[in-house]
Amino acid sequence: MGWLIHLPSSLFRSFGQPMNAFHRALASVLGILALARGMRAQSPPPTMPRLHHVGLNTVDPEKAIAWYLKVWPTATRTVVAGYPAVQADMLVLFNKVDKPPAGAWRDDLHRADAQSAFWHIGAFIDATDLKDRLNAVGVFHLPLYISPTDTTKTVWRSGLAPYAGTPSAAQLASAPPAAPRDGGFSYVVAPDGVLFELTGGPGTRPSFSHIHFYHEQPLCAANWYVAHLGMELPPVRDSSGKESPRAPWAPCDVTYGEAGWPSLEPIGTIRQPSGNVRFANGTMSWYPRQCVADRCGRDRKLVPSRGQVLDHVAFAVNDFDALYTRLVRDGVTVLEAPHQFGETRAFMIEDPDGLAIEIVAAPSRP
């Protein structure tokens, strides 16, 4: 990471504030394009974006960094473009703010308030025996509800649910009983109310690189990231296992499925439709917006992520200037025009549901 440097404080940006007047939004996001470009079923091409970092707002960067190093001991402390950071499989940048940022996890609501499109970050790891190690360092799992009427709060990872899968309320009564299984998904809460998932089983390669999102229409989101940022939909596999490129989802605005359990919320989690794309060094996924109709007392739209505790996600690209020109031409909302970011440059856009996405110019290869 030789291109990362300290900057004088006069050059630091606040995650929660626009930089100046010439960072105005240029236009509303266009509808999903009908044609996805550059999709191939083989390994992701080197021209695809690479996950660079996630940006968090925190009242105490030192406390936050200490927590992440405690949970993920192989991570290291670093500085990126003047921001204190944790380096693991992905970078986590911390921006100091004066008061607790919005969007923190609330135990009383079993969700964040207010919820943006940025649901949580986390790590892939065998969750089977994590509890004792994390409890020993003062980190405790959130309970998972296994039905709408569950009051036991004893299940902390999905592999301990008394059934397999994620059945709906109608399916729970007839779900075959299942003995405890290894692994599964589980959640803890990091400083400032960041929801942090630990998910996987015995065969999982440990990797602090998990990002998960909400969207009004997850399949439309996947189409948008392919059309505008050059990511790829997962390939189609035939009966022989041969892969071929997947066409853009059409239609992409489909009806939500039923909520299922285990879930962080007694009301269950809506998991369908689920959209996902892959970029050069990973994948990102979307579930539907959860606070629909009266599930949260009233219908609640997703709020912009800028200024929230989970502020933005960033990708590094090789075609920085050309991409900026295309995005402006296509009417994508620009939050921050190109500017200096350490020894490189960056700009920030917003996706159709308000997720802030920072685009960083990849360092030139020798």
**For residue 310, which of 142, 104, 107, 139 has the smallest C-alpha distance?**
104
Look at strands 334-341 and 344-350 and give their pairing: antiparallel
The average pLDDT across 212-233 equals: 98
pLDDT in tens, 261-302: 999 999 999 999 999 999 999 999 999 999 999 999 999 999
**For residue 66, which of 56, 77, 82 has the smallest C-alpha distance?**
77
pLDDT in tens, 182-221: 999 999 999 999 999 999 999 999 999 999 999 999 999 9
What is the C-alpha to C-alpha distance for residues 66 and 245, in angstroms, rounded to an integer? Answer: 43
- Residue 45 is predicted with a pLDDT of 53
The residue among 339 and 25 whose pLDDT is bigger is 339
**For residue 308, which of 104, 156, 105, 166 has the smallest C-alpha distance?**
104
Confidence at 363, pLDDT banded by 50, 70, 90: confident
Encoded amino acid at 85, one letter: A
- Residue 35 is predicted with a pLDDT of 34
Confidence at 157, pLDDT banded by 50, 70, 90: very high
The share of the chain scoring above pLDDT 70, in percent, equals 87
Q: What is the mean pLDDT of the chain?
A: 90
Asked whether the beta carbons of 48 and 279 are under 8 A apart, the reply is yes
- Residue 346 is predicted with a pLDDT of 98
Tell me which DSSP letter residue 322 carries. H
Rounded to 5 degrees, what are φ and ψ at 323? -65, -45
Encoded amino acid at 47, one letter: T
Q: Could you please report the per-residue DSSP string of 50-117? A: EEEEEEEEES-HHHHHHHHHHHSTT-EEEEETTEEEEESSSEEEEEE-SSPPBSEEETTTTEEES-BS
Query: How many Å from the N-terminal Cα to the C-terminal Cα in the chain?
Result: 14
Residue whose structure tokens are 């109709």: 293
Three-state secondary structure readout of 223-287: HHHHHHHCCECCCEECCCCCEECCCCCCCCCCCCCCEECCECCCCCEECCCCEEEEECCEEEEEE
pLDDT in tens, 128-145: 999 999 999 999 999 999
Asked whether the beta carbons of 352 and 221 are under 8 A apart, the reply is yes
pLDDT in tens, 304-314: 999 999 999 99
What are the chain's domains?
9-361 (3.10.180.10)
Asked whether the beta carbons of 39 and 226 are under 8 A apart, the reply is yes
- Residue 21 is predicted with a pLDDT of 40
Angle between helices 218-229 and 320-329 (to 10 degrees): 130
pLDDT in tens, 55-73: 999 999 999 999 999 999 9
What is the C-alpha to C-alpha distance for residues 189 and 169, in angstroms, rounded to an integer? Answer: 27
What is the C-alpha to C-alpha distance for residues 93 and 58, in angstroms, rounded to an integer? Answer: 10
What is the C-alpha to C-alpha distance for residues 202 and 187, in angstroms, rounded to an integer? Answer: 18
